[in-house]
Amino acid sequence: MTATTSPTPHASKHWPVSLFRRPDGTLEEDLAPSRIREILQAGEGELWVDIDSTSMHQHALLEKVFEFHPLSVEDTLSPGTRVKLEEYDRYVFVVMAVVRFDEGTPDPFDLATSNLYFFLGKNFLVTVHGIPSKSCVAVRERLVRNPELLARGAETTMHNIIDQSVDAYFPLVEQLNALVDDLEDRLFEQFNERLIHEIFKAKRAAFGFRRHVGPLREVLNILTNRPCMHIRPETQLYYRDVYDHTIRIVESLDTVRDLLAGVLETYLSQTSNRMNKVMKQLSIVSTIALPLIVIGGIYGMNFTRMPLATHPLGFYWALGGMAATAVVLVWWLRRNRWV
């Protein structure tokens, strides 16, 4: 039976969340920095430390206790760090993006992104994030219930966190797809000129989503196929499954982009058709009005001798001629199916 060791009585709120499985199977939680240093020096057991980068005390452990390279430590403080994989002598540094819809804005297409950083070493995994990570919380709860999962290695823990984060992409893609379908339905039900703004917002969301997922696919491809001193070949098979998921997500996003291109093309076609309809109506009015203007212009000339110029009913004959001309033109336009 696996025993669990409670946090030391001197535990501090500045200490990061951590789990350590001893070689004998017992579990330690929320370790002090001095204890983490001892574990790293011993090189035995399996250690996972989850660091909140907004805490200056926790973030300082990356350099003072783990002695990571300053460049990788600096990357964890930059929200604009791209998704990538870098190999160092003692560890592998991985950056992935966490994408979600921003619930703090009224725009349903606004995306909120943050980075999740991994330092994978011989017997340790360090995760760093500035926003609470649901994936880390879920994996931690699973490991606390079953500490034997830690015995599979730190690379398996990293796989579980990445897998949870990638699986969270699927509902977002479905939600984005549903928003695009709604745009398409609204476009066909009733044309609205304001839809063009939503179409471009949806395109921006799809492009932004793919911009974060696309590089992750390449990172997982490297973790799956390239030999790595910190990932065993049998564990790379699990990373291959996550790699397949990213391919599905990228393909789904490409489909959404194609749908948006179709919606935009339909919008432009409807706009063109409406413009053509308006121009057609104006042309009909002009065609009917032109002969009337000609008749009125002729009788407005300053000649003394003109037909019906001195007739007492000449004005009414002119109006009748205009009306008859208009009727004949309308009949002719309808006969040619132009009206």
The CA distance from 107 to 202, in Å, is 10
Same-domain check for residues 292 and 200: no
**Helix, strand or coil for residue 24?**
coil
Q: What is the CATH number of the domain that holds 308?
A: 1.20.58
Q: What is the CATH number of the domain that holds 78?
A: 3.30.460.20
- Asked whether residue 84 carries a pLDDT value surpassing 90, the answer given is yes
Same-domain check for residues 250 and 303: no
**Helix, strand or coil for residue 100?**
strand
- Asked whether residue 261 carries a pLDDT value surpassing 90, the answer given is no
- Asked whether residue 257 carries a pLDDT value surpassing 80, the answer given is yes
Q: Could you say which of 251, 270, 289 is where a domain stops? A: 270
Same-domain check for residues 173 and 24: yes
88 vs 277: which has the higher pLDDT: 88
- Asked whether residue 138 carries a pLDDT value surpassing 70, the answer given is yes
Same-domain check for residues 160 and 230: yes
280 vs 88: which has the higher pLDDT: 88
The CA distance from 210 to 248, in Å, is 12
Q: Which of 132-141, 192-201, 252-261 has the lowest mean pLDDT?
A: 192-201
Provide the pLDDT for residue 330. 77
Same-domain check for residues 247 and 282: no
- Asked whether residue 63 carries a pLDDT value surpassing 70, the answer given is yes
Same-domain check for residues 84 and 222: yes
Range of the domain at 186: 4-270
pTM of the model: 0.77
- Residue-wise DSSP of 139-194: HHHHHHH-GGGGGG-HHHHHHHHHHHHHHTHHHHHHHHHHHHHHHHHHHHHS--TT
36 vs 186: which has the higher pLDDT: 36
Give me the number of domains the chain comprises.
2
Same-domain check for residues 255 and 312: no
Contact 53, 82 (CB under 8 A): no
C-alpha distances out from residue 23 to 131, 151, 192, Å: 32, 9, 66
35 vs 274: which has the higher pLDDT: 35
Same-domain check for residues 218 and 137: yes
Provide the pLDDT for residue 66. 93
pLDDT, mean over the chain: 84
Provide the pLDDT for residue 185. 84
Q: Could you say which of 270, 300, 327 is where a domain stops? A: 270
Q: Could you say which of 244, 270, 296 is where a domain stops? A: 270
Provide the pLDDT for residue 314. 67
Same-domain check for residues 200 and 67: yes
Axis-axis angle for helices 169-189, 154-167 (nearest 10): 10
Contact 29, 7 (CB under 8 A): yes
- Residue-wise DSSP of 105-149: SS-TT-EEEEEEEEEE-SSEEEEEESS--HHHHHHHHHHHH-GGG
Which backbone phi and psi does 50 adopt, to 5 degrees? -110, 115
Provide the pLDDT for residue 68. 94
| 291-319: average pLDDT | 68
The CA distance from 180 to 59, in Å, is 41
Same-domain check for residues 263 and 298: no
- Asked whether residue 49 carries a pLDDT value surpassing 90, the answer given is yes
| 206-231: average pLDDT | 88
Provide the pLDDT for residue 181. 87
Same-domain check for residues 318 and 178: no
Same-domain check for residues 216 and 307: no
The CA distance from 325 to 321, in Å, is 6
10 vs 81: which has the higher pLDDT: 81
- Asked whether residue 7 carries a pLDDT value surpassing 60, the answer given is no
Q: Categorize the per-residue pLDDT at 311 as very low, low, confident or very high, splitting at 50, 70 and 90.
A: low
Provide the pLDDT for residue 8. 41
- Asked whether residue 6 carries a pLDDT value surpassing 50, the answer given is no
Q: Categorize the per-residue pLDDT at 2 as very low, low, confident or very high, splitting at 50, 70 and 90.
A: very low
Provide the pLDDT for residue 89. 87
